[in-house]
Amino acid sequence: MDWNNFFNPYNLPVIPYSPGLREEQIREICEVDTIYKLSSNESPFSPFPSALKAMAECLPLLNEYSDGSSHALTMRLAEHYGVEPEQIMVGNGSNELLCLIAQSCLMPEDEVVYCWPSFVVYRSSTQLAGATAIEVPLTEEGVFDLDAMAAAITDKTKLVFICSPNNPSGGVISAADFDAFINKLPDHVLLVLDIAYIEFVDDEDAIDFMRYFDGVRPLVILKTFSKMYSMAGIRCGYGIAPKEIVEAFNRVREPFNVNSVAQAGALACFDETEEIARRRALNSAGKQQLYQCFDELGLSYYRSGANFIWVHIPNAAERFNQLLKMGIIVRAVPGAEGLRVGVGDEEGVRATIDAFKQLFGKTQ
C-alpha cells in the first residue's frame, strides 16, 4: 500500500518542526550537573508575578471553554495600540497566525518572498499551501536584504514575510531601508511583519512599525507574549491587520484557539513597562559579555537585536555536541555553518562564556 495516496501532496515535502533539545534529553550524555537550555530563544525569567497571579486565579474555571473570541484581550490590545478591535487577531502563538494567513491567502500558483535563513514557519506554511517559496539570502550583516527582496517580487507574489530582529541571525532592519521598501511594495502583495523579538531591541535602534499601519495598507504586524513576556508555554500571539484580513482569519481559525490561562496571563502583562526595561537591559548586558568573549576567541558573529547571537563556527555539528556534554544547549541550523546561542540570565551567560573559552581557547 502506498500511504502517500491518502495525503495532500503539498504536505509531503514539509519537514516537521524540530524544537530545541530539552534538559532530560541530554542528561545521559552531559558531563556536568547543571544544564543551561539556550536553544529555543526562551526568556530565562519566570512570567511576571502579575501574570502568574492572573493565570492561577482562572484555574478553577478550566471546566469551561475559553472565550472563543479572546474578547477582553482583543479590547485591551486595541486600546494599547490605538486601533479598532476589528483590526486585532489573537492566536495560539504567532506560529498559528502565520499558518492561518498562508491558508487564507495562498493558492498553488502564488509566490512568497522572504530571506533565508529565517523562521522555518515561513517555509513550511508556504509549502502547506502549495505555493512557491522565493528565498533570498540575508545581507552580510545577517539582516533581511530588502533591495534583493524587492527585486524578487513579481506579478505572482502574494505574500512577503519580514522578520526583524531576524531569527536566527538577530539582524535588525533600519528605518531608512524599511521606508524605501514599503513605499515601493505593489498593492497586490500582503506584507507580513514578524517582530516577535522587537522588545529586545535597544530603544535607540527600534522602529515604531505601528506608524506604517493605517488599516488600509496590506500590512500585518505580528507579535507574541512568548519571548520578552516569558510565556512561551501558554502559546499566545497576536496580529494587527486590516479588518478584512482579520475577517478572513476568523473564517479559518479553530474555535477556542487561545486557552483561558493564556488569555488571563496575557491580559496581566500590559503594565509591566519597568520590568520589561530591566529585562531588556539585562539581555543587552549579557550580549555585550558574549560579544567580548567571542572577540577574544576570534569567533565571528552577527550583532543581534534579539535575545540570542548567531556565531559563525565551522564544524558546527561537532561543536554543538561538545557543548551539549558541557551542559550548554544551543541551536544548530541545518545547512548553516554556525550556532545560535541564547542569552541566559547572569549565571547562564557566565556558564556559556566558560564553556566557549574551554572549547575554543586553545584553538583560536
- Structural domains for the chain: 20-46+273-360 (3.90.1150.10), 49-267 (3.40.640.10)
Residue 20's pLDDT is what?
Answer: 67
Spatial separation of the C-alpha atoms in residues 120 and 100, rounded to whole Å: 15
pLDDT at residue 51 greater than cutoff 90: yes
Spatial separation of the C-alpha atoms in residues 282 and 6, rounded to whole Å: 51
Residue 40 pLDDT grade (very low, low, confident, very high; cuts 50, 70, 90): very high
Q: pLDDT, tens digit, for every residue of 98-143?
A: 999 999 999 999 999 999 999 999 999 999 999 999 999 999 999 9
Q: pLDDT, tens digit, for every residue of 216-262?
A: 999 999 999 999 999 999 999 999 999 999 999 999 999 999 999 99
pLDDT at residue 12 greater than cutoff 90: no
pLDDT at residue 205 greater than cutoff 80: no
Mean pLDDT of 49-69: 97
Residue 222 near residue 239 (C-beta atoms within 8 A): yes
CA angle 224-351-118, nearest 5°? Answer: 35
CA-atom Rg of the chain in angstroms: 21
CB-count burial class (<10 Å; 0-12, 13-18, 19+) for 318 = exposed
Q: pLDDT, tens digit, for every residue of 307-348?
A: 999 999 988 999 999 999 999 999 998 778 899 999 999 999
Residue 32's pLDDT is what?
Answer: 79
Instruction: Reduce the DSSP state of residue 97 to 3 states and report it.
Output: helix
Spatial separation of the C-alpha atoms in residues 245 and 91, rounded to whole Å: 14
Mean pLDDT of 342-358: 97
Residue 54 near residue 71 (C-beta atoms within 8 A): no
> Crossing angle for the helix pair 49-58 and 260-267, nearest 10 degrees?
150
Residue 362's pLDDT is what?
Answer: 53
How many CB atoms neighbour CB 281 within 10 A?
Answer: 11
pLDDT at residue 69 greater than cutoff 90: yes
Residue 363 pLDDT grade (very low, low, confident, very high; cuts 50, 70, 90): very low
Residue 52's pLDDT is what?
Answer: 98
Give the least confident one: 3-12, 58-67, 93-102.
Answer: 3-12
Distances in whole angstroms, Cα of residue 343 to Cα of each of 37, 98, 328: 10, 26, 11
Residue 31's pLDDT is what?
Answer: 72
| Residue 39 DSSP class | S
Q: Which cell numbers in the block locate residue 7?
A: 495525503
- Classify residue 288 as left (phi > 0), alpha (psi -120 to 50) or beta: alpha
Per cent of the chain over pLDDT 90 is: 86
Q: pLDDT, tens digit, for every residue of 265-323?
A: 999 999 999 999 999 999 999 999 999 999 999 999 999 999 999 999 988 999 999 99
| pTM for the whole structure | 0.94
